[in-house]
């Protein structure tokens, strides 16, 4: 299988971290593609009409896109512990954390547009603050709810993976200081960041608009 990837995308990193945690990384050919709303990448558009990565090109069947869809597909390719639990309580807890993390990533990307990517004359400070407020509120909730990060020998669930990769992108782009005043969230992220799956998939590169 081929994974169309971007080395500075939180969504693409989520898929690759999941693959590592499931022991499937060796089945993926990872190919970096620059994508941006302002620069068309025809190879990506040919597989995903939204023009976004990640995209998983299967050996047979249509290409899959959206990180959550790809992660669920990968979770069906192994016989070990699932990253999307079957038991309803654990399942919806994990999916809820994934939804929160993806919303944080969406807000962070929108904030970055207003802070630095949009032409200065077109920036709207209230929009920037509104997006940062979303991230702050999500981090406050996580500070209340998070337990300890999963131990090294345990397979994390999709909520853990989505949260760690989102926080890594927020830190990478210096969007919001999520660790300040939140010792539980900070400790959770520091511990999760030492997992081999995270160390093997570090973010890098600049956006090209």
Domains contained in the chain, CATH given: 2-75 (3.40.30.10), 88-196 (1.20.1050.10)
* The pLDDT value given to residue 15: 98
* The pLDDT value given to residue 207: 85
Q: Which of 35, 37, 77 is nearest to 54 (CA)?
A: 35
Give me the residue label for tokens 């807000």. Answer: 107
* The pLDDT value given to residue 184: 97
Q: What does the pLDDT look like over 103-161, one tens digit per residue? A: 999 999 999 999 999 999 999 999 999 999 999 999 999 999 999 999 999 999 999 99
Mean pLDDT on 15-40: 96
* The pLDDT value given to residue 61: 85
CA distance 14 to 135: 18
Asked whether 48 and 64 are in contact (CB, 8 A), the reply is no
CA distance 103 to 160: 14
pTM, entire model: 0.97
Say if residue 209's pLDDT is above 80. no
Mean pLDDT score across all residues of the chain: 97
Which pLDDT band holds residue 208 (cuts at 50, 70, 90)?
confident
């Amino acid at each position: 299988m081929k994974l169309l990837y971007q080395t500075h995308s939180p969504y693409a990193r989520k898929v690759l971290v999941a693959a590592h945690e499931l022991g499937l990384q060796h089945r993926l050919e990872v190919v970096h593609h620059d994508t941006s709303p302002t620069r068309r990448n025809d190879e990506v558009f040919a597989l995903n009409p939204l023009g976004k990565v990640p995209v998983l090109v299967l050996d047979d069947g249509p290409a899959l896109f959206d990180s959550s869809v790809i992660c669920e597909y990968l979770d069906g390719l192994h016989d070990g512990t699932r990253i999307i639990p079957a038991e309803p309580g654990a399942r919806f807890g994990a999916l809820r954390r994934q939804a929160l993390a993806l919303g944080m990533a969406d807000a962070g990307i929108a904030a970055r547009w207003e802070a630095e990517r949009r032409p200065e004359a077109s920036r709207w400070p209230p929009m920037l603050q509104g997006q940062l407020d979303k991230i702050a509120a999500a981090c406050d909730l996580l500070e209340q709810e998070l337990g300890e990060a999963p131990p090294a020998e345990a397979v994390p669930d999709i909520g853990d993976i989505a949260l760690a990769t989102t926080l890594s992108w927020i830190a990478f782009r210096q969007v919001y200081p999520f660790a300040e005043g939140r010792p539980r969230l900070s400790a959770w992220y520091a511990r999760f960041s030492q997992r081999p799956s995270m160390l093997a998939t570090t973010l890098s590169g600049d956006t090209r608009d």
